């Protein structure tokens, strides 16, 4: 009765757990987990999907297994396989791979080579520590593959059951780091219980009178912070919300024991293909109306006159002066300067001589010829005068 009178307090504690971690992701709360169902000398491995329960059989395991825990960082689940002469063996599981036997669990002290774990009932992993429950002892096993104490029991604590005893058949690690499960109590009423992994203290959180007296395994805390459990003998699969509301999801065949671990690490979806390049934008051509330009009558341009040939300046025009009776001796011929050889220049000289320059040269030659004639006439007259004397 003392446990029932404190129901409001333990329900409040369960609600505080949910509030401490904040709301779960609302976009996608799908949780996949591995489940082991045992009915005989071997166990069957299943993959289940929550919150809407769906299961897929993966295959048969070579041994009876229990105490399943999942490491999201490693992507591996660990379980204890029974039936070995040297105690329970650590088995590593993945849905797509065969189970790996990693060897027996090793006692933590050098003076105790015996294996302290043979028939566990519950297991869960937080970080690199695997918490395994057998009888009334909670053992912490190292599951760091790079550690020198891999598979070693690092510590053990005895349970302190308050308001119990409780028959704990499985648990999972809550967001607050404590262990939660559904256990059968001495009064026959199941309850959600909380186990402190450091001190071993076990106490009820919320009573579940709607559940049948049974052993409850396959505990998984989903992404919605709800507790999912399976009744081993009756086969019912249930969801327990943080407020203690109970809902039956499915029913599976009964079994002697079961265990589960999750949520499995999700494989990121493949990248969507890159969108095709946008087609080039086609701009319709702009139609410009034709402009009417008034036609202008063609202007008649008179043809350019042909260039006139300049008079030759090589010889002077003949003079009409009469020849003297006795012409004097002709003057000494004057050497004409030799022609300067042409030099090349960037621009070729024009072959046509300017008409004005050509005329100016002819007039000068005529004056020189007239002056020469006057000198000759004057010289002749002077010579005749001297002859008369």
- Average pLDDT by consecutive 10-residue portion of the chain (389 residues)? 37 41 53 94 93 92 95 95 91 91 82 74 96 94 94 93 84 95 89 95 93 93 93 94 91 94 75 62 59 50 46 42 46 46 41 44 64 68 57
**CB neighbourhood size of 64 (10 A):** 20
Length of the chain: 389
Residue 379's pLDDT is what? 64
Question: Residue 161: what pLDDT?
Answer: 86
For residue 117, give the nearest of 126, 105, 129, 109 by alpha carbon. 105
Which residues lie below 8 Å from residue 131, measured CB to CB, with a gap of 6+? 69, 123, 124, 125, 138, 139, 140, 141, 171, 173, 179, 197
The predicted structure's pLDDT at residue 209: 92
pTM equals 0.63
Half-sphere exposure of 209 (CA within 13 A, CB side): 3
CA distances from 110 to 113, 115, 118, 134 (A): 6, 12, 19, 21
Amino acid 148: pLDDT: 92
pLDDT at 25: 41
- Pick from 210, 182, 186: nearest CA to 194: 182
pLDDT value at residue 356: 44
* Other beta carbons within 10 Å of 58: 16
Name the token pair of 359.
Answer: 């005329």
- What the block records as the tokens of 113 is 């080579």
Per-residue pLDDT, 187: 82
Query: CATH class for domain 2-19+28-262?
Result: mainly beta
């Amino acid at each position: 009765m003392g446990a029932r009178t404190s129901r409001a307090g333990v329900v409040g504690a369960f609600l505080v757990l949910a509030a401490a971690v904040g709301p779960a992701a609302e976009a996608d709360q799908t949780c996949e987990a591995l489940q082991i169902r045992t009915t005989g000398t071997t166990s069957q491995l299943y993959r289940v999907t929550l919150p809407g329960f769906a299961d897929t059989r993966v295959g048969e395991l070579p041994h009876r297994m229990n105490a399943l825990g999942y490491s999201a960082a490693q992507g591996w689940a660990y379980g204890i396989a029974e039936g070995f002469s040297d105690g329970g063996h650590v088995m590593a599981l993945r849905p797509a791979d065969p189970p790996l036997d990693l060897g027996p669990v090793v006692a933590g002290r050098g003076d105790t080579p015996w294996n302290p774990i043979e028939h566990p009932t519950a297991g869960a992993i937080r970080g690199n520590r695997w918490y395994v429950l057998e009888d009334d002892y909670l053992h912490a096993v190292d599951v760091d593959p790079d550690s020198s104490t891999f598979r070693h029991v690092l510590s053990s604590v005895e349970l302190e059951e308050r308001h119990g005893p409780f028959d704990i058949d499985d648990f999972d690690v809550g967001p607050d780091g404590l262990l939660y499960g559904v256990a059968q109590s001495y009064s026959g009423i199941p309850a959600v219980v909380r186990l402190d992994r450091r001190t071993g203290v076990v106490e009820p959180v919320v009573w579940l009178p709607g559940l049948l007296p049974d052993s409850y395994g396959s505990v998984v805390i989903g992404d919605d912070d709800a507790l999912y459990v399976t009744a081993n003998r009756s086969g019912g699969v249930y969801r327990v919300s943080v407020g203690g509301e109970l809902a039956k999801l499915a029913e599976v065949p009964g079994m002697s024991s079961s265990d589960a671990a999750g949520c499995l690490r999700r494989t990121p979806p493949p990248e969507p293909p890159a969108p095709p390049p946008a087609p080039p934008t086609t701009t319709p051509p702009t139609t410009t109306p034709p402009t009417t330009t008034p036609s202008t009558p063609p202007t008649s341009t008179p043809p350019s006159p042909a260039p006139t040939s300049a008079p030759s300046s090589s010889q002077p025009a003949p003079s009409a002066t009469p020849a003297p009776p006795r012409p004097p001796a002709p003057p000494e011929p004057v050497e004409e300067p030799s022609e300067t050889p042409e030099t090349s220049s960037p621009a070729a000289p024009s072959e046509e001589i300017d008409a004005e320059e050509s005329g100016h040269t002819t007039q000068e030659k005529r004056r020189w010829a007239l002056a020469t004639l006057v000198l000759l006439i004057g010289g002749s007259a002077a010579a005749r005068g001297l002859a008369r004397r």
